[in-house]
């Protein structure tokens, strides 16, 4: 693997978004497909976006409101690449397109290396090695806390399962974030029967989404109606990184 | 630099009022760091031909007078409608967010003045093509005199506009007028800066802004480090856009 493809595991923003109640679900999907997802790619490649994998669980049957409506992982060259992006108009503009669409506690944070325990709303990565998430098979598991578990017990049980996955060491990468009421988890590498059973067993509601490689065949100023986005879709956006040009 | 003359009805005339929860400083900062430069850099490739944003000085300004105005000239009205087919323009449009009081702020295309003025309907006073990005843009924003009823204020301005075509400054090739119950906004475009602008409109309204726009060249692209435009220092600007070449623009 070229060192150019060595994308560090800590330089990823882990986004958990909740649809604003003022925005109807159809309008939410339309905004994602016509503005947010394409703008994320087209406006941020030039300042160092390396991988972008959005998923849209909004509207899935049985999904509790406490589970995010949209999730995404966005990899940058480094954490500073992301921070420095705000010095540019493109990133300031892109960021402010979100205001009317999401409600608190929507947000994104960088992960820490997983050391056996979870803190609510703090993402973790399980494997401290570089990987290129754009080029591999990515699955995304989401789920809700069972009512019988307290948030602390829920996070403890999830942490035990993550430790098991970490110990097995079969994946190129894995990222997780647990809130008091939800889990979001992404893994990069070949699928393996039963690997996720332990996590799923500790979720009341769950959904596994394959992040489908998807390219946008239009630029910022081409006439293009946008992507069609439906409930349960997951994408692994394919684009030429700035260092690949 | 090639010229982009466009018809006088191809401009969106914006009158913006800041959201009541926003302080003026935050409003000006948001517009300067994101909103105004985004319009200038995201939309020329979608057909924006000229852009003249203005911050109306807040000190002493009556509430009924806009906090910000802007002229946004498009190649024609179809280009404006078609711009929404492009991601760049859809992203810009999603920015409006909570900066403005959306119950008061609005933009419309102008119609030709024909003797009467309707509140909040922009008019063009001369039916000629012009390239507003080049040359000089004069802008006047005035408040209705407190002693005058809105109806009388608008009637006086209609009388003023009726004499405009025969009495305006000779070098002016285009002019836009918009009145509200509490304000009047006038823009004139001229190839030269000599002589007096405004055709005496300052006698009919209390001036809040009365000046020629500064030509402003953005020093950066979308992806450069750039904090944006200090709109307190550059309050009335004719932004020099990077426009794609068009055919038949040399006339």
Quick one: tokens of B5? Answer: 């003359």
ipTM metric: 0.87
Element (H, E) at A112: strand A112-113
Output the pLDDT for position B155: 98
Quick one: tokens of A137? Answer: 């098979």
Q: What is the pTM of this model?
A: 0.90
Q: Return the percentage of chain B with pLDDT > 90, whole number.
A: 84
Residue A43: exposure state from Cβ atoms within 10 A (0-12, 13-18, ≥19): buried
**Cβ neighbours, 10 Å, residue B167:** 11
Which string of b and e fits A130-151 if b means at least 16 CB within 10 Å? ebbbbebebbbbbbbbeeebee
Q: Give the gap in angstroms from C-alpha A193 to the nearest C-alpha of chain B.
A: 40
B228 vs A contacts (CB less than 8 Å): 89, 92
Residue B194 has pLDDT above 90, yes or no: no
Closest Cα partner for A77 from A159, A163, A4? Answer: A4
Output the pLDDT for position A2: 45
- For residues A92, A94, A98 and A104, what is the CA-based torsion angle, rounded to 10 degrees? -50
What's the mean per-residue pLDDT of chain B?
Answer: 93
Q: What is the mean pLDDT of residues B182-197?
A: 91
Q: Are B188 and B141 in contact (CB under 8 A)?
A: no
Q: Which residues pair with B18 in a beta bridge?
A: B100
Low-confidence ranges of chain A (pLDDT < 50): 1-3
CA distances from A127 to A82, A115, A172, A191 (A): 21, 10, 7, 17
Q: Are B176 and B71 in contact (CB under 8 A)?
A: yes
pLDDT band, residue B4 (cuts 50/70/90): confident
Q: Return the percentage of chain B with pLDDT > 70, whole number.
A: 96
Residue B227: exposure state from Cβ atoms within 10 A (0-12, 13-18, ≥19): middle
Output the pLDDT for position B98: 77
- For residues B139, B67, B224 and A80, what is the CA-based torsion angle, rounded to 10 degrees? 170
Residue B164 has pLDDT above 80, yes or no: yes
- Name the residue with tokens 């494997």: A127
Q: What is the mean pLDDT of residues B15-27?
A: 94
Is the model more confident about B170 or about A15? Answer: A15
> Is-cis flag, bond preceding A105, omega within 30?
yes
B86 vs A contacts (CB less than 8 Å): 220-224
Quick one: tokens of B209? Answer: 């802004």
Residue B90 has pLDDT above 70, yes or no: yes
Question: Could you report the per-residue pLDDT of B105-156, keeping only the tens digit for each?
Answer: 999 999 999 999 999 999 999 999 999 999 999 999 999 999 999 999 999 9
Query: How many contacts (CB atoms, under 8 Å) link A and B?
Result: 84
Q: Which of B46, B220, B223 sits opposite A46 (nearest CB)?
A: B223
């Amino acid at each position: 693997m070229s060192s150019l493809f060595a994308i560090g595991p800590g330089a990823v923003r882990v986004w958990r978004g909740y649809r604003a109640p003022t925005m109807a679900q159809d309008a939410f999907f339309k905004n994602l497909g016509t503005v947010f997802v394409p703008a994320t790619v087209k406006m941020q490649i030039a300042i160092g976006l390396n991988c972008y994998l959005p998923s849209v669980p909004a509207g899935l049957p049985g999904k509790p409101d406490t589970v995010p409506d949209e999730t995404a992982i966005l990899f940058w060259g480094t954490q500073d690449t992301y921070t420095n992006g705000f010095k540019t108009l493109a990133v300031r503009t892109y960021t402010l397109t979100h205001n009317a669409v999401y409600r608190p506690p929507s947000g994104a944070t960088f992960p820490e290396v997983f050391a056996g325990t979870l803190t609510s709303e703090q993402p973790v990565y399980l494997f401290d090695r570089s990987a290129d998430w754009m080029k591999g098979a990515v699955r995304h598991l989401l789920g809700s806390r069972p009512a019988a578990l307290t948030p602390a017990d829920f996070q403890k049980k999830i942490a035990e399962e993550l430790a098991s996955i970490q110990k097995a060491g079969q994946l190129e990468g894995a990222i997780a974030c647990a809130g008091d009421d939800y889990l979001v988890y992404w893994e990069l590498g070949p699928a393996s029967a039963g690997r996720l059973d332990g996590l799923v067993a500790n979720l009341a509601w769950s959904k596994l989404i394959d992040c489908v490689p998807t390219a946008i065949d239009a630029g910022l100023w081409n006439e293009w109606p946008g992507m069609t986005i439906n409930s349960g879709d997951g994408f692994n956006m394919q684009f030429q990184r700035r260092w690949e040009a | 630099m090639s010229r982009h003359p466009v018809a006088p009805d191809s401009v969106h005339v914006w009158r913006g009022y800041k959201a009541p929860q926003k302080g003026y400083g935050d409003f000006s900062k948001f517009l300067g760091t994101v909103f105004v430069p985004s319009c200038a850099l995201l939309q020329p490739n979608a057909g924006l031909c000229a852009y003249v944003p203005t911050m109306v000085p807040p000190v002493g300004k009556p509430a009924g007078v806009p906090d910000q105005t802007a002229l946004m000239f498009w190649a024609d009205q179809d280009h404006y409608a078609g711009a929404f087919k492009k991601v760049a323009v859809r992203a810009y449009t999603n920015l409006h967010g909570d900066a403005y009081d959306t119950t008061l702020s609005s933009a419309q295309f102008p119609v030709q003045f024909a003797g009467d003025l309707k509140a909040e309907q922009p008019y063009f006073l001369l039916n000629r093509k012009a390239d507003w990005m080049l040359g000089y843009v004069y802008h006047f924003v005035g408040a209705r005199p407190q002693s005058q009823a809105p109806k009388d204020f608008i009637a006086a301005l209609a009388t003023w506009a009726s004499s405009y075509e025969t009495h305006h400054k000779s070098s002016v090739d285009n002019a836009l007028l918009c009145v509200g119950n509490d304000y009047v906004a006038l823009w004139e475009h001229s190839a030269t800066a000599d002589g007096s602008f405004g055709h005496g409109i300052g006698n009919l309204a209390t001036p809040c802004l009365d000046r020629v726009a500064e030509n402003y060249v953005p020093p950066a692209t979308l992806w450069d480090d750039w904090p944006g435009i200090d709109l307190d220092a550059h309050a009335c600007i004719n932004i020099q856009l990077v426009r794609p070449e068009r055919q038949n623009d040399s006339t």
